[in-house]
Amino acid sequence: MSAILNGKVKAGWGILAMLMPLAVGAIEPGYEAFEIYTASSPSSSRDATWKPGDGVTLEVSGLTWVGPDRLGVTVRKGEVWFIDGVLGEDRSKIAYHRFASGLHEPLGLLQEGKDFLVVQRTEMTRLQDGDGDGVADGYLTAARGWNVSGNYHGYAYGPERDGSGKLWVSLNLDMGERANNDAPWRGWALTVGEKGKLQPMAAGLRSPCGLGTNLDGEMFVTDQQGTWVAATPIHHLRKGVFYTNQESLGTLKYPESPVKVAGALPKDCSYAEAVKAAPVMAPAAVWLPYNKMGRSGTDIQVIDQGGKFGPFDGQLLVGEFTNSAVNRVFLEKVGGEYQGACFPFLSGFPAAVVRLAFAPDGSLFVGMTNRGWSSLGNRSYGLMRVRQKGEVAFAVKEMRAKPDGFELVFTEPVEAKTAGEVKSYSMERFTYLYSGAYGSEEIEKAGCVIEGAEVAADGMSVRLKVGGMKELFVHELHLDGVRAKSGEGLLYPVGYYTLNRLP
């Protein structure tokens, strides 16, 4: 619910910028913005206050909270840094310490007791500090066994631990002429068992950059638009399912594969038809429509801050690379499977958002790097801290499916007159083309009729009666006419519900 534009903080959130220039401008009453340290100015001149040392570029690729005021950070060039004093207001007390180096593009970081686990291109590595001098002296193989081709896109992500204690990793597909996706386990999500044994779980992923759990400890993954991937999906990970990308079908030949496909999978049809035709193909829990919600989803972080980060506990935050943003996702279970809605949330970051981590005080750390692609930001990398400072802007908090419509829950009471008028709302449904093409336009678009809008007595929710809903379609809702009781309009009067199943 806020935007960071030209140093201005919109609608309920204070921003503390670290390691990235942020033009400090006028801040609305009730909000604060602090510039901490700068890597370089827009003209690329070096800032004399830069602390990690000459030549260090903090392209954040992994975040984990280490102590009361210590953040662990991996950078894509192959290092692990500890940053102390990041929760204070005194910039002079921030300190940087390099813990490890020589890694091959680590894209995650997780503390395990006194050790740290990172996934680099070739393996999951355990970093140990045996002599206690603050520098890793043990680089031990914790798991390996996936194909490493040297392809530029052969990324490996993780690890992340689910609620049952399992460690998850996800592997990018190789792409282009030098791809080798018939080798294990490109385009898969896997768990790591005893003695580092890999356990392949789910196939059909393209670029699964972000892993994260919900409050129940179930693991989810983002994927990114491309071949066989129409837009940005969020998938619920479990064993034995296939998602969308057929370029990894060759790996199903391995005996360890829990995914079994009888015959050819459908193609060149609507996504809704494909899911119905192939029982092994699990529908996305949520689609983030292209450009409307972003172009390349990244990290997943559940909000569990006891109200310190707004009234959204239990929902997921999803990083967005190209649009330099953070989106919000509400999930519910219908018929035993997840589906839900996505909403714009935070935007205007100075570089591509890649990693997210909550601090003990309820603030959110946002790690960024643009390497390999461009983003809407004007910087190449960075680390920012976001905290709530003031009242949250008027927003749709939840969007729940009903047999004949949707129930909307708001962050504050609505005005009964505007919220009770059907003309305040409009809705359209669409699906995507399922094919080997790069992404898809929205297809089979049709309007849904808002037949009724009943406002709850307390004004906190509205029950919409909707005609024309359709399973396995995205339902795009606009609420341009709805006002809060205070008279405020919605900062983002739109939401997108992925309706896999009618209740």
Whether 38 and 384 have beta carbons less than 8 Å apart is answered as no
Q: Identify the CATH number of the domain defined by range 396-499.
A: 2.60.40.1220
The reported pLDDT for the residue numbered 219 is 98
Average per-residue pLDDT in the chain?
Answer: 88
The boundaries of every CATH 2.60.40.1220 domain in the chain are 396-499
For residues 308 and 181, give the distance between their C-alpha atoms in angstroms, rounded to a whole number: 44
Q: Is the pLDDT of residue 87 over 50?
A: yes
Q: What CATH architecture does domain 2-388 belong to?
A: 6 Propeller (2.120)
| Structure confidence at residue 117 (pLDDT) | 98
* Beta strand residue intervals within 251-390, DSSP E: 269-270, 286-288, 297-302, 316-320, 325-334, 337-347, 353-358, 364-369, 381-388
- Write the pLDDT tens digit of every residue in 340-355: 999 999 887 888 999 9
Alpha-carbon distance of 249 to 261, in angstroms, equals 9
pTM of the model: 0.92
Q: How do residues 96-106 score in pLDDT, each as one tens digit? A: 889 999 999 99
Tell whether the model's pLDDT for residue 470 goes beyond 50: yes
- Type of residue at 501: R
CATH 2.120.10.30, the chain: domain bounds:
2-388
